[in-house]
Amino acid sequence: MCGIVGYIGEKEAANFILEGLKKLEYRGYDSAGIAVYDGKQIQVRRFAGKLVNLVNSLEEQKICGKIGIGHTRWATHGEPNDRNAHPVTGATGRVVVVHNGIVENYLSLREELESEGVNFLTETDTESIVHLIEKYMSLGNNLVTSLKNALRMVKGANAIVAFSSDEPDTIVAARLGNAGGVVIGYGQGEMYVASDIPAILGHTTKMSFLDSRQIAIIKKEQAIFEDLDGNKVTPDIQQIS
Ligand code: GLU
């Protein structure tokens, strides 16, 4: 279980995310990546090895955009190479997911999706989540409903953060069981999400934490919390010193 950082607001998402991922390096990891919506499409950059590979790539060619997610991976399914690094995309390139934890029923989900014609591009368990989200979105559901439907099928302890170029004003974060935490940070006209407090503490001290089976719908001005059954949850906004 490694690091997750996400940003939505008016600043460059990539700068925020890289800074946050650096603060989570102490946790150890084998690869790192970032996905940012550039106004037209989701740009993904991900590399095996140290964060410096990602930093160098972004210095060579920036990705500009105001919504994005990043990840440092500790591989459980699929070797630590560029292709298996997160963020993970599906068939459309319009949905992107970072994930901590293990999808315990990944093999049966993969077999079922493949029997429906889905082509897997990685060896990760994470990719099954992306394809499930895409499947429900293709049936006309929005990202939040699609993620909820997907998570009803997923077994195991997982922290998941995702966004879609179809709804580039929203990041969704979810927690199932205990695969590390999910913290949502409140800024001024911007919001943050991370697996761990240090990733965002330099930017805000106002934070809320997801419990198991809760989901946060994060926009730049606010976050709405629900459980997976759709019941509203009032977040406990804590002051972190
Ligand atoms: N199970 C996922 C993978 O192998 C996530 C690993 C992690 O928690 O970093 O890609």
The ligand 1 atom nearest the CA atom of 99:
5
User: Is residue 202 over pLDDT 90?
Assistant: yes
pLDDT at residue 230, as a whole number: 87
Give, to the nearest 10 degrees, the angle between helix 126-138 and helix 106-115: 40
CA angle 26, 29, 34 (to 5 degrees): 100
Residue 4 CA to residue 97 CA, distance in Å, equals 10
Nearest residue (by CA) to ligand 1, atom 5, is: 100
Residue 126: what are its φ and ψ, rounded to 5°? -55, -40
Residues with C-beta less than 6 Å from any ligand 1 atom: 1-2, 73-78, 99-102, 124-126
Residues 49-85 as b/e (b if ≥16 CB within 10 A, e otherwise) read eebebbeebbeeeebebbbbbbbbbebebbeebeebb
DSSP state of 27: G
69 neighbors 87 (Cβ within 8 angstroms): yes
Residue 92 token pair: 């459309």
Ligand 1 pocket test, candidate residues 102, 120, 130, 182, most atoms within 8 A of CB:
102
Q: Residue 181 Cα, ligand 1 centroid: separation in angstroms?
A: 14
Mean pLDDT, residues 22-38 = 96
My answer on whether omega of the bond before 80 falls inside 30° of 0, hence cis, is no
Residues 136-191 pLDDT 10s: 999 999 999 999 999 999 999 999 999 999 999 999 999 999 988 999 999 999 99
pTM, two decimal places? 0.98
The ligand 1 atom nearest the CA atom of 71:
9
Residues 60-91 pLDDT 10s: 999 999 999 999 999 999 999 999 999 999 99
Q: Residue 74 Cα, ligand 1 centroid: separation in angstroms?
A: 6
Ligand 1 pocket test, candidate residues 99, 120, 128, most atoms within 8 A of CB:
99
Ligand 1 pocket test, candidate residues 25, 46, 72, 74, most atoms within 8 A of CB:
74
The residue assigned the tokens 């790539």 is 57
CA angle 73, 78, 84 (to 5 degrees): 55
The ligand 1 atom nearest the CA atom of 102:
1
Q: Residue 189 Cα, ligand 1 centroid: separation in angstroms?
A: 31
Mean pLDDT, residues 127-133 = 98
Q: Could you give the maximum distance between any two Cα atoms of the chain, in Å?
A: 50
The ligand 1 atom nearest the CA atom of 84:
10
Mean pLDDT, residues 108-112 = 98
Residue 230 backbone zone (phi > 0: left; psi -120 to 50: alpha; other: beta): left
Residue 211 token pair: 């419990």
The ligand 1 atom nearest the CA atom of 179:
8
Residue 200 CA to residue 216 CA, distance in Å, equals 17
Mean pLDDT, residues 97-111 = 98
Residue 160 token pair: 């998941």
Q: Residue 51 Cα, ligand 1 centroid: separation in angstroms?
A: 16
